[in-house]
Amino acid sequence: MKKIAIALAGSLLLATATAQAISLSGEAGDDYAGASAGFGLGVPGLGANVSYSHGKDNNDVYGFGLGYTLPLGAVSLTVGGKALYLNQQHATDGYGVALGGGLQFPINRYLSLYGEGYYAPDAFSSHIDHYVEAKGGVRWQVLRPLNLDLGYRYMNIGGESGRSDNKVADTFYLGAGFTF
């Protein structure tokens, strides 16, 4: 079993060895701002990213994600998970592991539709009831390294033991990103 696991991990790394990409992005909306950096994302294969989101009432979410992107014809499907640290202003800080993924569908050479969602139930988290994250929008590839995003972002930290939820984002946003 150990040899199979090593062979599987090695084949995933080799699958991403042909084309690597580094991405940097930021987004902002009403009472919300976020930034992320990724490696290997946007190309078929294994990818990783780190992210930071700041929302209303000084609620912060720090994340480290791993995902695997699969090409399905023109559509790219990513499945994966995120380890999260949740810094809440009016509650105990918590952490969780959220599972989910995303889709990207190109409309033409310059425009694409995208969406993603992640969820951490109570069983995968501590000091929170649950965590929900979703976003979707339109991406415009202005020049080869630069893209602009217009979309909607929802992030919510479910309150534990009858406490109210802490929304990090529930807003439209404008974002920009670079891929090298």
> How many structural domains are present in the chain?
1
**Ramachandran bin of 16, using left for φ above 0, alpha for ψ from -120 to 50, beta for the remaining angles:** alpha
What is the predicted pLDDT for the residue at 14? 47
DSSP 75-139: EEEEEEEEEEEEE-SSS--EEEEEEEEEEEEESSSSEEEEEEEEEE-GGGEESSSEEEEEEEEEE
136: amino acid identity, one letter: G
Report the CATH number at residue 108: 2.40.160
What is the predicted pLDDT for the residue at 9? 47
Per-residue pLDDT of the chain (180 residues; tens, 9 = 90+): 455 444 444 444 444 444 568 999 999 999 999 999 999 855 688 999 999 999 988 899 999 999 999 999 999 999 999 999 999 887 888 999 999 999 999 999 999 999 999 999 999 999 899 999 999 999 999 998 999 999 999 999 988 877 778 889 999 999 999 988
CB atoms within 10 A of CB 123: 8
Residue of 150, 141, 129 lying closest to 23 (CA atoms): 141
Q: How far apart are CA 138 and CA 124, in angstroms?
A: 31
Structural domain boundaries, residue 115: 2-179
Joined together, the tokens standing for residue 107 give 């409309």
What is the predicted pLDDT for the residue at 43? 63
What is the predicted pLDDT for the residue at 164? 79
Say if residues 81 and 102 touch (Cβ distance below 8 Å): no
Q: Chain-centre distance of CA 50, in angstroms? A: 9
pTM for the model stands at 0.85
Q: How far apart are CA 66 and CA 99, in angstroms?
A: 10
Q: What angle do CA 82, 84, 86 make, to 5 degrees?
A: 155
Q: Chain-centre distance of CA 34, in angstroms? A: 11
Residue of 5, 52, 14, 47 lying closest to 33 (CA atoms): 52
Task: Give the CA distances from residue 78 to residues 54, 65, 158, 164, in Å, rounded to whole numbers and listed in that order.
Answer: 24, 11, 25, 32
